[in-house]
Amino acid sequence: MDGYKAPQKFHVKVRIFNDQLAFGKGVAQLLELTDRCGSLRAAYQSMGMSSSKAWKILRRAEEDLGYKLVEATAGGAHGGSAVLTKEGKILLAAYSAFDREVQEQAEKSFAKYFGTR
C-alpha cells in the first residue's frame, strides 16, 4: 500500500438508552461525583457544568430510563445533599463495567485492523 499510513488513534463513545441517547460518559461522571461528594452541586461544579445543564441531562436520562437516578434534598441551614438511588447505583456500576469492556475490545480490534497500540 504505497503512501498508506495507518491511523494512530481511535475514539469509541458508549451510550445506553431506551428511546433517546440519554446516558453516556457525562451523566456517568456526574453520578460518580455526586456519589463521592454527596452533592449534585459539588459534582457539576467540579465538572465545570452549569446547574441547568446538569439537571437537564439528569432528568433526560431519568425520563428515558423510567426511574430516578438521584435523590436530592434542598439546601437550608445545613445545606442540601444528593445520593444515588438503588437503581442509580446499579446502572452506574453496570455502565462502567460495560464501557470498560467495550474500550478493551475496541483496543484489540484497532490493533488487529491498524497494527498499532
User: Between the CA atoms of 51, 52, 55 and 58, what dihedral angle is there, to the nearest 10 degrees?
Assistant: -110
Grid cell for residue 105 = 475490545
Q: In this predicted structure, what is the pLDDT of residue 42?
A: 94
**pTM for the whole structure:** 0.88
> How many angstroms separate the CA atoms of 20 and 66, rounded?
12
Q: Can you give the residue ranges of every domain in the chain? A: 25-114
What is the CATH class of 25-114?
mainly alpha
Query: What confidence tens digit (pLDDT) does each residue in 1-43 have?
Result: 578 888 999 999 999 999 999 999 999 999 999 999 999 999 9
